[in-house]
């Protein structure tokens, strides 16, 4: 999460918290020095203590330090949003009849109950548009800070969190959506220059396109066929009687005998004519041994 200090830092007024005061005494008198901290950064470092829930129509903070989501029936979320000051969010339902927390409901709960109303936050409707249907799963926020919990929960829904660019607030967004659009114009080479036709001097476009069809993936082993083959003499019978070798002539290596027609075994799996090796038979005897 990024905290963007405002331009008011370094001036007499700021949106923040004074963390320490010092008084320097010198020859020219006394000087008060105040160390300040960004208000949002200070709030995000606060630890999560207890759970907010509705008890007999009253908003109550439990005294336990256990802050877990969806880990037991008593740690589920209420069905309807409740009013928390000027904000609306869903709270813990201790009855055991609640619903599972979604990423949007959990973010809305933490933002509405843990941050002061002076800090701008997205509404529950805006969060539901981003991740209203994403189940949070089981999450244990016990002993963590508010900022750590917000980032962890947002990542479960594919979201990111940053500070507002103006004022003091938090923005929840999905990367790749809601970006700033820019209009780029560049005239073709050789055209008469027109200021309205070009707002850049040169350009380079890289296109990363996917293939038109998915690649073929081999799952499992290669196909094996078992057949009876008739071998042919791999020598010239009229002139060479020595070093006789019987061949299948699977790719036409012997010009004086006909190549073997693999289409009699399969019309699709032997399209490439190449040398092939005989393997052991697929058939086995009663002892599970190959026939040869």
List the chain domain ranges: 52-173, 225-292
pLDDT at 232: 82
- Dmax (CA) of the chain: 123
pLDDT at 111: 93
The number of helices, as runs of H, and strands, as runs of E, in the chain is 4, 14
pLDDT at 247: 82
pLDDT at 43: 84
| Closest listed residue to residue 106, CA positions, set 153, 144, 74, 59 | 153
Strand partners, 209: none
Q: How far is CA 189 from CA 25, 186, 202, in A?
A: 70, 9, 10
pLDDT at 215: 61
pLDDT at 132: 82
CA angle, residues 227, 232, 236, in degrees to nearest 5: 165
pLDDT at 9: 44
Taking the C-alpha atoms of residue 224 and residue 259, their distance in angstroms, rounded to an integer, is 20
Find how far residue 189's CA is from the centre of its chain: 41
Strand partners, 20: 35
Question: Which stretch of DSSP H or E encloses residue 151?
Answer: helix 146-156
SS3 of residue 40 by DSSP: helix
Find how far residue 266's CA is from the centre of its chain: 44
Per-residue pLDDT of the chain (292 residues; tens, 9 = 90+): 444 444 444 444 455 555 555 666 777 777 666 555 677 887 888 888 888 887 777 788 886 778 899 988 889 998 899 888 889 999 998 888 889 999 999 999 999 998 888 889 999 999 998 888 889 999 999 888 999 999 999 999 989 988 888 778 888 988 876 556 667 777 777 778 777 777 777 777 777 666 665 665 656 667 777 888 888 887 776 666 666 778 888 877 787 788 888 888 777 777 777 777 878 887 887 777 787 7
**Which residue shows structure tokens 């330090």?**
65
């Amino acid at each position: 999460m990024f905290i963007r200090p405002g331009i008011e830092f370094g001036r007499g007024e700021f949106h923040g918290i004074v963390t320490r005061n010092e008084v320097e005494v010198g020859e020219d008198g006394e000087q008060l020095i105040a160390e300040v901290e960004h208000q949002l950064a200070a709030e995000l470092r606060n630890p999560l203590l207890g759970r907010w829930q509705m008890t007999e129509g009253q908003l109550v903070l439990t005294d336990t330090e256990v802050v877990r989501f969806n880990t037991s029936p008593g740690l589920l979320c209420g069905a309807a949003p409740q009013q928390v000051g000027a904000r609306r969010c869903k709270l813990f339902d201790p009855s055991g009849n609640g619903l599972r927390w979604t990423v949007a409901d959990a973010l809305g709960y933490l933002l509405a109950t843990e941050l002061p109303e002076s800090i701008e936050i997205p509404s529950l409707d805006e969060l539901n548009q981003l991740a209203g249907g994403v189940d949070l799963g089981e999450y244990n926020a016990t002993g963590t800070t508010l900022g750590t919990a917000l980032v962890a929960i947002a990542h479960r829904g594919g979201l990111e969190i940053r500070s507002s660019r103006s004022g003091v607030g938090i923005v929840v967004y999905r990367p790749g959506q809601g970006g700033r659009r820019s209009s780029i114009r560049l005239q073709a080479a050789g055209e008469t220059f027109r200021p309205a036709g070009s707002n850049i001097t040169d350009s380079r476009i890289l296109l990363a396109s996917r293939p038109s069809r998915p690649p073929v993936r081999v799952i499992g082993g290669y196909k094996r066929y078992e057949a009876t083959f008739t071998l042919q003499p791999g020598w010239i019978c009229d002139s060479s009687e020595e070093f006789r070798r019987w061949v299948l002539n699977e790719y036409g290596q012997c010009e004086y005998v006909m190549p073997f027609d693999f289409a009699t075994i399969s019309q699709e799996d032997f399209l490439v004519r190449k040398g092939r090796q005989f393997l052991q038979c697929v058939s086995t005897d009663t002892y599970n041994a190959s026939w040869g």
